[in-house]
Structure 1
Amino acid sequence: MRDEYVITNVQNKTKKSFVLASVMLAMFMGAIEATIVSTAMPAIVGDLGGFSLYSWVFSSYLLMNTVTVLIYGKLSDLFGRKPVITWGIVLFIIGSILCGLAQTMEQLILFRFIQGFGAGAVLPIASTIVGDIYSKEERAKIQGYLSSVWGISAISGPAIGGLLIEFVSWRYVFWINIPLGILAIAGIWLFLHEDIEKKQPKIDFIGAFLLTMSITSLLYMLVEGGINIPWLSWEALGLFIFSILCFSLFFWNEKNVKEPMMPFSIWRERSIFIANIVSLTSGIILIGISSYLPAFVQGVMGESPTVAGFTLTAMSVGWPIAATVAGKLLLKIGYFKTSFMGGVALICGGTIFVTMNPAYGPLYVGLGSFFVGVGMGLTTTAFIVSIQSHVSWQQRGSATAANVFMRNLGSTVGAALLGGILNTRLIAYIKEQDTTGKLTVDSVNRLLEAESRSNLSQTARDILQPGLTVSLHWVYGGVLLFAVISFVGILFLPRDYPKKEEI
Structure 2
Amino acid sequence: MSDTPTLRRPLIIAAIMAAMAMIAIEATIVSTAMPQIAAQLGDLHLYSWVFSSFLLTQTAMTVAFGKLADLYGRRPILLLGIAIFLVGSVLCGLAWSMPSLIAFRLIQGVGAGAIQPVAITVVGDLYSVEERGKVQGWLASIWGISSVIGPLAGGLIIQHASWAWVFWINVPIGLAAGLGFVAFLHEDVAHRTRKVDALGATLFAIAVAALMVALTEVGNSTFAAVAALVVALVAGTGFFVQERIADDPMMDLKLWARRSIATANAATLLSGMTIIGLTTFLPMYVQGVLGQSPLVAGFTLTAMVFGWPIGATIAARNFKRFGLRPILLFGATLLPFGAAVFLFLRAGYPPQVAAAGSVVIGFGMGFLSNAAIVIVQSAVGWNERGAATSSNIFARNLGSTLGATALGAVFNLSLASGGAGGRAVDFDSIQKLLEGTGGTITDAGTQAALAHSLHLTFWAMFIVSALTLVAALFVPVATPAAKSAPEDAPAEALPIVEA
Does TM, scored on the shorter chain, surpass 0.5? yes
* Amino acid corresponding to residue 236 of structure 1 in structure 2: A
Q: Is the 8 A contact 1:52 1:442 kept in 2?
A: no
Shift of 1:93: 0.6
**Alpha carbons of 1:362 and 1:61: their partners in 2 closer, same or farther (altered >3 Å)?**
same
**Alpha carbons of 1:290 and 1:187: their partners in 2 closer, same or farther (altered >3 Å)?**
same
Shift of 1:49: 2.1
Partner secondary structure for residue 85 of structure 1:
helix
**Partners of 1:258 and 1:149 in 2: CA distance:** 37
Match of 1:338 among 318, 324, 327: 327
Shift of 1:140: 5.3
> In the alignment, what sits opposite 2:435?
449
**Partners of 1:203 and 1:450 in 2: CA distance:** 49
- Is residue 66 of structure 1 aligned with residue 76 of structure 2? no
Unaligned 5+ runs, structure 2: 486-495
Determine which structure has the larger helix proportion and give its number: 1
* Amino acid corresponding to residue 316 of structure 1 in structure 2: V
Shift of 1:238: 4.0
**Alpha carbons of 1:66 and 1:365: their partners in 2 closer, same or farther (altered >3 Å)?**
same
After TM superposition, the score normalised by the length of structure 1 is 0.88
Q: Is the 8 A contact 2:50 2:105 kept in 1?
A: yes
* Amino acid corresponding to residue 457 of structure 2 in structure 1: V
Query: Aligned ranges for residues 409-488 of structure 1 at < 5 Å?
Result: 409-429=398-418, 432-434=421-423, 440-450=426-436, 454=440, 458=442, 461-488=443-470
Deviations 1:414-470 (A, max 9, x none): 111111110110121259555xx8x5123201111227974x7x4xx1211111111
* Amino acid corresponding to residue 204 of structure 2 in structure 1: L
Shift of 1:175: 0.6
> In the alignment, what sits opposite 2:368?
379
> In the alignment, what sits opposite 1:3?
none
- Is residue 256 of structure 1 aligned with residue 256 of structure 2? no
Q: Is the 8 A contact 1:312 1:366 kept in 2?
A: yes
After TM superposition, the score normalised by the length of structure 2 is 0.89
**Partners of 2:82 and 2:302 in 1: CA distance:** 24
Partner secondary structure for residue 359 of structure 1:
coil
> In the alignment, what sits opposite 2:491?
none
> In the alignment, what sits opposite 1:126?
119
Match of 1:95 among 81, 85, 88: 88
Query: Aligned ranges for residues 155-234 of structure 1 at < 5 Å?
Result: 155-192=148-185, 194=187, 196-226=189-219, 228-230=220-222
Q: Is the 8 A contact 2:419 2:450 kept in 1?
A: no
**Partners of 1:394 and 1:189 in 2: CA distance:** 31
**Partners of 1:480 and 1:431 in 2: CA distance:** 20
Shift of 1:351: 1.0
* Amino acid corresponding to residue 471 of structure 1 in structure 2: S
Unaligned 5+ runs, structure 1: 1-5
* Amino acid corresponding to residue 494 of structure 1 in structure 2: P
Deviations 1:346-376 (A, max 9, x none): 1211111222222331101001111111112
Deviations 1:146-183 (A, max 9, x none): 33211100111111111111011111110111111122
**Partners of 1:312 and 1:426 in 2: CA distance:** 24
Shift of 1:284: 0.7
Shift of 1:396: 5.8
Q: Is the 8 A contact 1:143 1:381 kept in 2?
A: no
Match of 1:322 among 311, 319, 339: 311
Match of 1:39 among 32, 38, 58: 32
The alignment's C-alpha RMSD in Å is: 2.7
Shift of 1:18: 3.2
Query: Aligned ranges for residues 325-404 of structure 1 at < 5 Å?
Result: 325-387=314-376, 398-404=387-393
Q: Is the 8 A contact 2:71 2:192 kept in 1?
A: yes
**Alpha carbons of 1:488 and 1:141: their partners in 2 closer, same or farther (altered >3 Å)?**
farther
> In the alignment, what sits opposite 2:23?
30
**Partners of 1:332 and 1:132 in 2: CA distance:** 31
Q: Is the 8 A contact 1:427 1:441 kept in 2?
A: no
**Partners of 1:146 and 1:441 in 2: CA distance:** 41
**Alpha carbons of 1:79 and 1:496: their partners in 2 closer, same or farther (altered >3 Å)?**
same
* Amino acid corresponding to residue 174 of structure 1 in structure 2: F
**Partners of 2:326 and 2:17 in 1: CA distance:** 28
